[in-house]
Amino acid sequence: MSSASPRAIPADLLPCSDHAMKKWVEIALGIITGIGGFLEVGSIATSAQAGSEFRYQLTWALALGVISLAFLMEMTGRLAAVSKRTYVDLLREHFGMRFFLVALIAVFVVSFMVLTAEIDGVSTALQMATGIAFQWWAIPVAVVGWLLLWRGTFGIVEQGTAMLGLVAISFAVGAVKAHPDWGALGGAFVPSRPTENPARYWYLAVSILGASISPYLYLFYSAGAVEDGWDREYLSVNRVTAGLGNLFGGTLALAVIGTAALVFAPAHVHIDKFEQIGSLFVSPLGRAGFWLFVATLCVTCFGATLEIALSIAYLIAQGFGWEWSEDLRPGRDSRFSVTYTISIVVAAIPAALGISALSLTNMSMVLSAASLPFTVIPLIALMNDGKVMGRHCNGWISNIALICISVLSIVLFFVSLPLQIKGGG
Amino acid sequence: MEPVDGVQLVHDVLDGCLTDRNGRKIGRVDALVLTLTDGEPLRVSAILIGGQVRAERVGKWMVRLRGAISSVLHHDREFGVSRVPFSAVRGIAETIDLDVDGATLPSGHLERWLGDHVTGHIPGSQGEKK
Amino acid sequence: MSRELLVSHLVGRVVRDADGRKVGRIEELLARIELHEHGNDYVVAEFHVGAYGLLEALTGGVFAQKLVQRFGGLVGYRRFRIPWEWMDLSDPVHPRLNHARADLESRADE
C-alpha cells in the first residue's frame, strides 16, 4: 500500500481561521490519503491469493501488518515533526556512513523491485481494460508517471492519486454484498495453524506482512512530513492519520481476502495471473465489479509507482545530503530529479520485456519483509533519544510495540528466503 | 547524563547535512580535520566533503573501487573533495550552515554537470512548480 | 610541530590509562569555542570514552553501540568525560591517558 501524508494547510488559505477546524480538515485529508493510498499491487495480489487458498485464515497476518505499519508511520512522522529532519537524515547522522549504506542497499533493492511490480500492475490493468498486451503499456505508464513527478508538486502527487484511489472503497462495498461469514472472519484475527500446505501458508503470511510493512511507506511518510513543514502542532494529526488511515485502508485489503474466500476458494482457484483477480467482484457487483477492480488496480498501482520512485530518490538524496524536494523545479535539485527519472524508466523494463506481474510482486513482497530489520531496529535508538525527540520520546506502549516489530522483522529476515524457495511456487 | 556545553563533533557535526549561504543543501560532513600541536588542544580546522574522503568512511574496498572509476574518468585522487575551513561554520542545528557558495565547491560537480548537461535540456526543469 | 588527523581516525580507538589498562573506546569529542584576537577556533575540550563491560565484544560497530547506549547502566555501559590535557595523542592509533583509571571514577557519567 502507499502511505498517507496529510497536506499542511496554511491558515490564511482557509476560509475559517478556527484552529480546531484546520486540524480536522487535515486529519480528514490524511485519512482519505490512507484509504485511497493503501491498496497497491502487493496488497491486492497477496490478499487475493491468501483468500483463494486459505479463505479467512490469514486475516491475522494482515491485521498484524496494518498495526505494525501504523506504529512505524506514527513514529517516523513524530520523528520528522519534532526533529524537522527525515528518518533517513537521522539514520545517516546517528549511525554513520557504513550502516547507512547497508540500509540503503537493502531498501533500494527492495523498493526498486516493488516499483517494477507496480508499473507491471498498472500495465496489467490497462491490458485488462483495452485488450492491448501489458508489455506495450509499460513505457507509456513510466513516461506519464515521470511527467507527473517532473511537473507536479508533492501535494498533487500525494493527494491527487489518493483521491482517485478512493475508487477502492468499491472493494468494501463488494465484500459486504458478497455476504461473508462474519463469525469466521472475526475468528481469523487470531493466528491459526494451516490445515494443509504449511509452506505455502507461511509464505503468504510473510508476503502479506511484506506488502503491509514495506520500508518505502514509512520513509516516504517521514519525507512527506518534512515536505509539508510539519512541526509539533501536527503530532495529533500524525497519530490519527497513521492510525485511522491505515485502519480504513487495511479494511480494503481485508475486503479482498474476504471476497476471494467466497468467490475463488470454493472453486479451488489457484491464482497465478493477475487477470484472474479481475473477476473477484463480478459476483457481488456484476459487470461493474470488473471495471471497478480494473480502475482500482490502475489508480492505486500508479499512485504507488509515483510514491516509490520518489521514495528511492528521497532515500539517496537525503542520505548523501543532496538538495531535494518534489516542490522544487527539477533544475534546482538535479541529482534528486535524475534519480527518480532513472528509477522509473529502468523499472519499466521488466514489464516491457513481458515479465509477469504476479511472480515479481510475490518475490518483492517477501524481500520487503526481509529488509525490515535495517530500518525498524534503528528506531529503537532514535525514538528514545532525548536530544532528538525532546519530551516526545516513545512511551512504554510505543516501545513495546517497536520491540515486538523489531523481533518480527528479525524473524522475517531469516524465514523469508527459505519460504520463498519452499512456498513460492 | 549531564547536559553537554559545547559541540559534540561526532553527534552534532560528523555526517551532518551542510547548507551554503544561499540555504541550499551541499552534502554531508564526510570528515572533520583536526590539527594536533604539542601542548595544545586539538583544533578543529576543516570540514571535508565528498570524493575519496567519503569512500574512506565506507572502507578500503570502496576506496579501491572509486580509485578505479577515477582512473577511467582521468580524475586525480583529490577530485571532488571539498575542504571548507571550520571558521566558515555559521551555525550548527538541524543543518550545519556554512558561509560559502556551494556552486563553487568541487564536491558539487555532479549537481552542476547534471544541471548543465541533462536537466537543463529537459522542458519544465526551470519553471516554478508552485 | 603540527600535524593533521581526522576525527574518524580517533573515534573507536581503544584508550588505555597510564598503567596500560584498557579504559574504553573514544566515542565523542566535545569541542568548545576558544576566543583569541585573531578569531575564534573550536578546540577539543573533552574526549568521551565509553566502556561496554560484558558487551564489549558485541559493540564494535556504531549500530550496536547506539543501541547499547540507550539502555545505559542496565548493561554495564559507562562513559567517561576526559579533559584534553589528560589525553596523550603522540600515537593517535594508541591513545593513552596520563592518569590512572582510578582517577577517572569522578568523571563517569551515570
Please give the average per-residue pLDDT across B85-114, as a whole number: 92
- For A387, residues 6+ apart whose C-beta sits below 8 A from its C-beta are B11
Which amino acid appears at position A380 of this protein? I
Which cell numbers hold the place of A201?
A: 501458508
CA A416/CA B59 separation, integer angstroms: 29
Contact B126 A101 (CB under 8 A): no
CA C43/CA B86 separation, integer angstroms: 11
Domain total of chain C: 1
CA C9/CA C15 separation, integer angstroms: 13
Please give the average per-residue pLDDT across A166-174, as a whole number: 91
Residue C64 has pLDDT above 80, yes or no: no
Please give the average per-residue pLDDT across A137-159, as a whole number: 93
pLDDT above 90 covers a percentage of chain A that reads 67
For residues A198 and A15, the model is more confident at A198
Residue C2 lies in a domain: no
Best mutation target, B4, B10, B15, B110, to test chain A (most A CBs within 10 A): B15
Report residue A423's pLDDT band, with 50, 70 and 90 as the boundaries.
confident
CA A245/CA A228 separation, integer angstroms: 18
**Does C61 touch chain A if contact means CB atoms closer than 8 Å?**
yes
Closest CA to A188 of A65, A54, A71, A1: A54
CATH number of the domain within which C24 lies: 2.30.30.240
Contact A334 B114 (CB under 8 A): yes
Give the pLDDT confidence of A345-380 residue by residue, as tens digits: 999 999 999 987 787 888 888 888 889 999 999 999
Three-state DSSP state, A404: helix
**Does B41 touch chain C if contact means CB atoms closer than 8 Å?**
yes
Cβ atoms within 10 A of the Cβ of A339, count? 22
pLDDT at C35: 80
Start-end of H helices in A268-286: 274-277, 282-285
Q: How far is A175 from chain B (nearest CA, A)?
A: 41
pLDDT at B2: 45
**For chain B, which chains pass the contact test of at least 3 CB pairs under 8 Å?**
A, C
Q: Rounded to 5 degrees, what are φ and ψ at A286?
A: 75, -160
Closest CA to B33 of B55, B9, B6: B9
Q: Which CATH architecture has domain A11-423?
A: Up-down Bundle (1.20)
Please give the average per-residue pLDDT across A182-192, as a whole number: 89
Cβ atoms within 10 A of the Cβ of A270, count? 12
Q: Which of A236-240, A248-252, A417-421, C54-58 has the lowest mean pLDDT?
A: C54-58
pLDDT at B1: 42
Strand B17-19 and strand B96-98: the pairing is parallel
Cβ B19 vs Cβ B92: under 8 Å: no
Of B41, B48, B56, nearest to C84 by CB-CB distance is: B41
Give the pLDDT confidence of A210-246 residue by residue, as tens digits: 999 999 999 999 999 999 899 999 999 999 989 999 9
CA A269/CA B3 separation, integer angstroms: 64
Q: How far is A308 from chain B (nearest CA, A)?
A: 21
- For A278, residues 6+ apart whose C-beta sits below 8 A from its C-beta are A128, A290, A293, A294
CA A375/CA A365 separation, integer angstroms: 16
Residue C109 lies in a domain: no
Print the domain residue range for C16: 7-104
Q: Where are the domains of chain B?
A: 9-121
Give the pLDDT confidence of A304-342 residue by residue, as tens digits: 999 999 999 999 999 999 999 999 999 999 999 999 999
* Helix, strand, coil shares, percent, chain C, to 5: 30, 45, 25
Give the position of cell 511472480.
A359
Closest CA to A25 of A37, A13, A43: A13
Cβ A22 vs Cβ A234: under 8 Å: no
Best mutation target, A90, A93, A94, A95, to test chain C (most C CBs within 10 A): A95
pLDDT, averaged across chain A: 90
**Does C108 touch chain B if contact means CB atoms closer than 8 Å?**
no
Topology (CATH level 3) of domain B9-121: SH3 type barrels. (2.30.30)
Of C11, C41, C109, nearest to B43 by CB-CB distance is: C41
Please give the average per-residue pLDDT across A154-181, as a whole number: 88
Strand B31-37 and strand C2-6: the pairing is antiparallel
**Does C64 touch chain A if contact means CB atoms closer than 8 Å?**
no
Three-state DSSP state, C29: strand
Give the position of cell 481469523.
A188
Give the pLDDT confidence of B47-90 residue by residue, as tens digits: 999 888 888 888 888 888 888 888 888 777 777 889 999 999 99
Q: Where are the domains of chain A?
A: 11-423
